[in-house]
Amino acid sequence: MAKRRRRVAAYIRCSSDKQSETSPEQQRAEIAKLAEREGYDIVTEYSDIGLSGDCEDRPGYQQLLTDSVLSRFEGVLCWNQDRLSRGDLIDSAAYMKTLRTAGVFVHTCNDGILEWGELSDQLGVMARQMGKAQFLRDLSKNVKRGRRNAGLKGKTTGGKIPFGYAVDSGGKLTPDPETAEILRTLFERYAGGESLTDLIDWLDGRGYGRRSRGGLRNTLKNRVYLGEFTSNKISIIDKKRVTLPRDQWNIIPNNHEALVSADLFNAVQDQMKTNRKHCSPSEKTGSVFALTGMVTCEHCGHPFHGTTHRGNRIYVCSGYGEALSDCPRYVVNECEVIDAVLGRLTEFFEANQRTVMDAILIDMGRRHQEASKTGNKLDRSIANAKGKLQRMEKRLLIVDDDMVPIVTAEIRRLKDVIAADEAEKTDALSGNGQERALAIAKTASRMYDNLIAAQTELADIDPAKLRGMFSDLSLRVTPHIERIAQGTSGKRWVCKLIGGDIRLSWPGITPAVASVLSCSELGCPPYQ
């Protein structure tokens, strides 16, 4: 008789995606060789990429421990012992105890099987663990010491170099011959009244890529361009990145050559305080925009957001000016698009009442035919869940106290699965599905009445009420907008709504009812 292949899980971790000597690909290949050589079946894989071994909150690591208690595998394969943990003896003892209690072994590519049955075996595992933890502590101290000393001397300690600067051989910032003048021009143009969007277009036109508004705003607020160097802003406390209080920062004025004067820098900051182009519309107007988040640009896929311009309520494509989008400025007037949407929705419900009812009747018949099939499927699911529940209730009696919450949570989950399956079975066999289908017909009729009322009261209707109605329909609008150049400068444009697509749905509706509507015949006056 052939020997049974043991079911195992693979665990892969590296602190950085640049760890070529223990890259995820290399670990995965070596683990596969180990499994083939020893006769294991790898049934699942857990990984934590870019996370240190002394971090206990690694998602893959925590899921591995949870699944080990649930008997989803018999062993764990990994590159070596420090892939599981670089913590000290106290930290690493937690995972060792959990795996031992669950009866799960650990087999590593470099260290072999980790034995913890005899005292001599345990001492060997503990000695290796102490070495891994000490190596990590020494490395961390050396890195921190090096960065702190470099920061005190005004030298860069890694990270992205500020635009306009380069790093000299001594590690200090020095003006970059290619971009320093561009940086100064950015400050001058913004102080002169140009917007962030104007500067984004200008940079893009000169071949420096399309920046985001947030990134460019941070550039214009960065005091490094005054010659000021700041370090020790971030620290790791309880394994979390924390911004330190300003009085703990290491700030060195006149550390390197400034690219802008103090007067120019202050003028830019003053301009930012008064420039509120992208404030939330609700903060500026105190009102709700009925279609915010429901209108999508057909060119870049970004949503339109509601705002006001020269007293008019409009929707503007949010992709305009973003770093990864080359979409120009598309604008649509709120009254025009809402009027168009209400008109087409009313026509749809008026012309398709019979279609809606026919689709609902067909759906009722389908539900009846599938009820018995659904019941049989749910019976199998319930039986399977009950079997797992019995095993978990037995395991609850033998696991250690620290694993009781995990097993208890699994028992609760299985009970919820059983209850949900039984309720679904009762629902499928009782005819409640047909009752829901009839409720959909009533909803369609009520929606038609609401649309008629909304068209009549469009000038006075509360945008919040209108938005609620559109949300009930899961409305999605994709306007077709034509940009028309004005004058000969190429800088002035108007936008004209020439049509668009409207999609709607609501819970339980069939594909036959969730029709795609076209409003391509719409014609509207241009809006600048």
What is the mean pLDDT, run by run of 10 residues, along the chain of 528 residues? Answer: 81 69 83 92 91 78 87 89 70 74 86 66 52 48 49 59 85 87 92 84 84 82 86 62 71 86 91 60 56 85 83 82 70 84 73 59 59 74 85 78 80 86 73 53 61 58 76 80 78 81 62 41 36
pLDDT for the residue 400: 74
106 and 57 inside one domain = yes
The DSSP-derived string for 47-74 is EEET--TT-TT-HHHHHHHHHHHTTS-S
Please report whether residue 221 resides in a domain: yes
CATH number of the domain at 200, please.
Answer: 3.90.1750.20
185 burial (CB, 10 Å; 0-12 / 13-18 / 19+) is middle
The contacts of residue 505 (CB under 8 Å, 6+ apart) are: 473, 474, 514
Question: Which residues, in sequence order, are CB contacts of 523 under 8 Å at separation 6+?
Answer: 498
Helix axes 180-191, 213-221, angle to 10 degrees: 100
User: Has residue 151 been placed in a domain?
Assistant: no
331 and 455 share one domain? yes
| Last residue within a domain, chosen from 433, 462, 481 | 433
Side by side, which strands form the sheet with 75-78?
Answer: 40-49, 6-14, 75-78, 105-108, 112-113
- Asked if residue 231 and residue 88 are part of one domain, the reply reads no
> Are residues 361 and 338 part of one domain?
no
> In 396-462, which ranges are continuous DSSP H helix?
404-430, 432-456
Distance CA 62, CA 42 (A): 18
Nearest Cα residue to 70 out of 101, 107, 24: 101
- 231 in a structural domain: yes
Tell whether 265 and 286 lie within a shared domain.
Answer: no
For residue 338, being part of any structural domain is answered with yes
For 439-477, the pLDDT digits (tens) are 555 665 666 566 666 655 555 567 777 787 777 777 788
- pTM score of the predicted model: 0.34
Which H helix or E strand runs over 86?
Answer: none
Q: Of 274, 295, 310, which residue sits at a domain end?
A: 274
- pLDDT value, residue 76: 92
| 255 and 339 both lie in a single domain | no
* Residue after which a domain boundary falls, among 433, 467, 489: 433
Both 55 and 182 in one domain: the answer is no
Number of domains in the chain: 4
pLDDT value of residue 136: 47
CATH number of residue 59's parent domain:
3.40.50.1390
Residue 346 lies in a domain: yes
Q: Could you tell me if 339 and 470 lie in one domain?
A: yes
Q: Is residue 297 part of a domain?
A: yes
429 and 456 housed in the same domain: no
Cβ within 8 Å of residue 380, ≥6 positions away: none
In sequence order, which residues have a C-beta less than 8 Å from that of residue 81 and are 6 or more positions away? 106, 108, 110, 111, 114, 125, 128, 129, 132
Surface-to-core class of residue 194, CB atoms within 10 Å of its CB (0-12 exposed, 13-18 middle, 19+ buried): middle
Task: Indicate whether 528 belongs to any domain.
Answer: no
For residue 524, being part of any structural domain is answered with no
Return the pLDDT at 527: 34
Range list of H helices, 240-352:
262-274, 281-285, 334-351
Give bridge partners of residue 113 from the DSSP assignment: 107
DSSP 8-state secondary structure symbol assigned to residue 162: P
Provide the pLDDT for residue 100: 81
pLDDT of residue 242: 64
Q: For residue 481, what are its two tokens? A: 């907008």
**Residue 301 confidence (pLDDT):** 83
- CA proximity to 8, closest of 43, 32, 34, 39: 43
Residues 319 and 418 in one domain: no
Name the residue range of residue 459's domain.
281-352+444-518
Tell me if 332 sits within 8 A of 314, measured CB to CB: yes
**Alpha carbon distance 344, 339 (integer Å):** 9
- Pick from 86, 83, 77, 84: nearest CA to 129: 86
Judge if 79 and 215 occupy the same domain. no
What pLDDT was estimated at residue 75?
92
Q: How far apart are CA 502 and CA 514, in angstroms?
A: 11
390 and 296, same structural domain?
A: no
